[in-house]
A and B are shown apart, each in its own frame.
Chain A
């Protein structure tokens, strides 16, 4: 897929664990893992908003477009 999820990078930058982020955002760790691995088909604006708020970042810091 040409949309890359840089959630791992942001988590490392903020020194936050996946489990903690999942708890703050209100999603399961399994779903966060799906998002991190790039297997997710879509992301809700509400989830993106919650992640950006928790990591204090912009959507462009998490999502990136790269040509195949």
Chain B
């Protein structure tokens, strides 16, 4: 019970912080476009980022924004699981559904980031090897180098956690069926 209470407090704090960051980010984004001259000098010119960055390079920041929104969504789903946990209703449909959703999102965020990072570093390496003399790399070496650069612990951990959530969801669904069968044993 103590664990659930701590979890509830932490997840509420995390959710509130993420919402605050989203609201402030949106406000800054809108302000940089419409109220640029009123912003502090160091923050001006943010809107020029979109004209400076061309097609391929915008993917990085855009992916970060999408990942942040998806992460917020997954925390929202995990938050929904807390109420049944407090009521000791561990095998409810809400828990199964939301754990599955959160798991899918975590796997997507981790997998997509690894993939995009791999593609980006591969593109950058091929561009660099064309520009810089003496940096001629064969495709296998470039593939190896891109793989090492794209596989960071954070994203792998995110995929692992996502898969764990998916497994928990499946286990809970199984437990729900067993509980139903037990309840219908007279």
Taking beta carbons and an 8 Å cutoff, which residues of A are in contact with B?
27, 31-32, 34-35, 39-44, 47
Kindly report which residue of chain B lies nearest to residue A42, judged by CB atoms. Answer: B185
Decide: B184 and A39 in contact? CB cutoff 8 A: yes
B181 at the interface (CB under 8 A from A): yes
Q: How many residues of B contact A (CB 8 A)?
A: 5
15 contacts between A and B (CB under 8 A): A27-B186, A31-B186, A34-B184, A34-B186, A39-B184, A40-B184, A40-B185, A40-B186, A41-B181, A41-B185, A42-B185, A42-B186, A43-B186, A44-B186, A47-B186
Taking beta carbons and an 8 Å cutoff, which residues of B are in contact with A?
180-181, 184-186
Of A27, A41, A47, which contacts B184 at CB under 8 A? Answer: A41
User: Which residues in A have their C-beta under 8 angstroms from that of B181?
Assistant: 41-42
User: Which residues in A have their C-beta under 8 angstroms from that of B186?
Assistant: 27, 31-32, 34-35, 40, 42-44, 47
Measured between alpha carbons, how far is A32 from B186 in the docked complex, in Å? 8
Kindly report which residue of chain B lies nearest to residue A27, judged by CB atoms. Answer: B186
Measured between alpha carbons, how far is A47 from B184 in the docked complex, in Å? 13
The smallest C-beta distance from A3 to any residue of chain B, in angstroms, reads: 13
